[in-house]
Structure 1
Amino acid sequence: MRKLFNISLIFMAFTVISCAQKGDVSQSVKKAFNQKFPDAKKVSWDQENSHEWEAEFTRNGLEYSANYSVNGEWLETESEIESAEVPAQVSQNMTKDYPDARIKEVFKVERKDGVFYEYEFKLNGKTQEALYDSSGNKVENQKSAEEDEEYEKEDDD
């Protein structure tokens, strides 16, 4: 039993150390971020994957996230908005596509190819997402296996 306990402690220590050794945000990423968001407050960085960084921050009292490539190229900015801020056609199409959905959150997503609106909603006991362009066209229905786990945890709460 003691041996199992020691192995568990070693595993936990290794996990903590490996998480702490994530790469640092490069100067090119920080510079690009500071140029685009000079008024950002409470900035925290997280490495999304091997080729992307995400900054979470506040601006004018609102919460944002912005994603950058490891080379400092801006990829997207996301901010939570009120349903009333969504263009009418987007809102109408969401209601038509998912009439029984219970909307949890709405995000404005800005990318080089335009502005999009992402809905997070609950339908048939599962949390889902849908993305629409500014004209109300459904762009994609996003949901990864990792998000499935995250949603299941949230749904249990």
Structure 2
Amino acid sequence: MKYPLFFYMCSLFFGISYQSVAQNNIPEKVKQTFKLKYPGENDPDWHKDKNGYYESNFKIKGEHYRADFDVSGQWVETERNIKKKDLPKKIKDKIKSDFDDYKIVEIEEVDHHAKGKFYDVELKIKGKKKDIEFDENGQILN
């Protein structure tokens, strides 16, 4: 992967703890599941995140993605950062009506093994951060 410094800097910026993992230290089941889920991707960067998941960083059609797998090879979730303009209108409307005083810090589109697709929006007001998960219809999940 051509952008390991980018992901490292992002991890420092967002305060996330990562441990780089060499390709040959990734469990075979994790690599197999990754190849089945993302057959066109051959060069992910691997890290172990703060939850103990193996996290792959890769690109699809120029978009950066992160996918997590547990030690047994089970896929956990895939995320990608998006811009506010890419949020569904119902979520933008909900943020405007309920969180208009907040500043949007980060938005992730998430596909989760149990929750399905949702949007994780990190908001900030007066130095306090708040993560809110929305479904596509603007309903708050957490």
TM category (shorter chain) comes to 0.7 to 0.9
| Structure 2 SS opposite 1:35 | helix
Equivalent pair of 1:100/1:123 in contact (CA under 8 Å): yes
Runs of 4+ in 1 over 4 A off after TM superposition: 19-23
Q: TM-score of the superposition, structure 1-length normalised?
A: 0.67
Separation (CA, whole Å) in 2 of partners of 1:103 and 1:127: 10
CA pair 56-20 structure 1, distance change in 2 beyond 3 A: closer
Relative contact order higher in (CA < 8 Å, ≥ 6 apart) = 2
Instruction: Please name the residue that 2:69 is paired with.
Output: 68
| Structure 1 SS opposite 2:109 | strand
Equivalent pair of 1:116/1:134 in contact (CA under 8 Å): yes
What is the aligned-residue RMSD (CA, Å)? 2.4
**Residue in structure 2 matching 1:117, options 116, 119, 122:** 119
Equivalent pair of 1:41/1:58 in contact (CA under 8 Å): no
Separation (CA, whole Å) in 1 of partners of 2:84 and 2:43: 26
CA pair 21-122 structure 1, distance change in 2 beyond 3 A: closer
Counterpart code for 2:84:
S
Instruction: Please name the residue that 1:107 is paired with.
Output: 108
Equivalent pair of 1:32/1:74 in contact (CA under 8 Å): yes
Structure number, greater radius of gyration: 1
Instruction: Please name the residue that 2:138 is paired with.
Output: 136
Instruction: Please name the residue that 2:58 is paired with.
Output: 57
Identity of aligned residues (%): 27
> After superposition, what is the alpha-carbon deviation per residue over 1:37-95, rounded to whole angstroms, capped at 9, x for unaligned?
12236511111257521111112111110011111111110011121221111121122
Separation (CA, whole Å) in 2 of partners of 1:41 and 1:89: 36
Equivalent pair of 1:114/1:133 in contact (CA under 8 Å): no
Instruction: Please name the residue that 2:31 is paired with.
Output: 30
User: Tell me, which stretches of 5 or more residues in structure 1 are unaligned?
Assistant: 1-18, 141-157
Q: TM-score of the superposition, structure 2-length normalised?
A: 0.74
Query: Shift of the alpha carbon at 1:103?
Result: 1.2
